C-alpha cells in the first residue's frame, strides 16, 4: 500500500472512530481531551462534532493551522508526563472522551509515549468514558470496544473506562 493510501486510510479510520465515540458519550457528561494537536485537524473536527463540550488539548508545542488552535485556557503545553498529572485542576471534571494521537515515525518513541499515557490518562477519565487512540493501549480499567464498521482491526483503537 502506498504511503498516500495508508494516510487516507488512517484519517478515515480516525474520523469514523471519533464520530462513533461521540455517539457513545451522548449521555455522559464531561469535557473532551485531545492528546496531540498536530496540525489541528482532529481538534477542528471535534469542535464541529461536539460543539457543547469543552475540549482541552495537550501537546509539547503548537504547530497547528491558525484556525485550529484552542484558546490559552484550553491549550495545555508541555510533556504529557508533567502536564497530565496537573490537568484535573484546569479541566475541572473527569473527561467523557479522550482522543490520543501520539504516533510518529519512531516506533520505539511512540510505544514509550503510549505506555506513559495508559498510566496517566485513567486518572482523568470518567467511568464509562471513551478512549480513542491511534496506538494500542491496555489498561486494566479499560474495556476494548469493537471498531465502527469499515475500520480495519489494529488501524485505530477504542476502549471504555470501566474503572477509575
Q: Which domains does the chain have, with CATH numbers?
A: 3-161 (3.40.50.150)
Query: Tens-of-pLDDT digits for all 164 residues of the chain?
Result: 899 998 899 899 999 999 999 999 999 999 999 999 989 999 999 999 999 999 999 999 998 999 999 999 999 999 988 999 999 999 999 999 999 987 666 677 767 777 888 889 999 999 999 999 988 888 889 999 999 999 988 889 999 999 76
Q: Which run of H or of E encompasses 158? A: strand 157-161
Cell of 141: 480499567
Give dist(CA 109, CA 46) in Å, integer.
Answer: 26
Cell of 126: 470518567
pTM of the model: 0.93
- Contact criterion met (CB below 8 Å) for 35 and 80: yes
Amino acid at each position: 500500500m502506498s504511503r498516500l493510501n495508508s494516510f487516507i486510510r488512517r484519517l478515515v479510520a480516525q474520523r469514523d472512530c471519533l464520530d462513533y465515540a461521540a455517539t457513545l458519550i451522548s449521555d455522559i457528561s464531561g469535557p473532551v481531551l485531545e492528546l496531540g494537536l498536530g496540525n489541528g485537524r482532529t481538534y477542528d473536527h471535534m469542535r464541529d462534532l461536539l460543539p457543547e463540550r469543552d475540549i482541552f488539548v495537550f501537546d509539547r508545542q503548537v504547530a497547528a493551522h491558525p484556525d485550529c488552535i484552542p484558546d490559552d485556557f484550553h491549550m495545555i503545553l508541555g510533556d504529557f508526563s508533567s502536564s497530565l498529572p496537573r490537568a484535573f485542576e484546569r479541566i475541572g471534571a473527569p473527561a467523557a472522551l479522550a482522543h490520543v494521537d501520539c504516533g510518529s515515525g519512531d516506533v520505539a518513541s511512540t510505544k514509550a509515549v503510549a505506555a506513559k499515557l495508559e498510566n496517566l490518562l485513567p486518572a482523568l477519565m470518567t467511568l464509562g468514558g471513551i478512549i480513542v487512540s491511534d496506538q494500542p493501549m491496555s489498561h486494566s480499567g479499560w474495556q476494548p470496544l469493537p471498531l465502527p464498521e469499515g475500520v480495519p482491526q489494529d488501524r485505530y483503537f477504542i476502549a471504555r473506562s470501566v474503572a477509575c
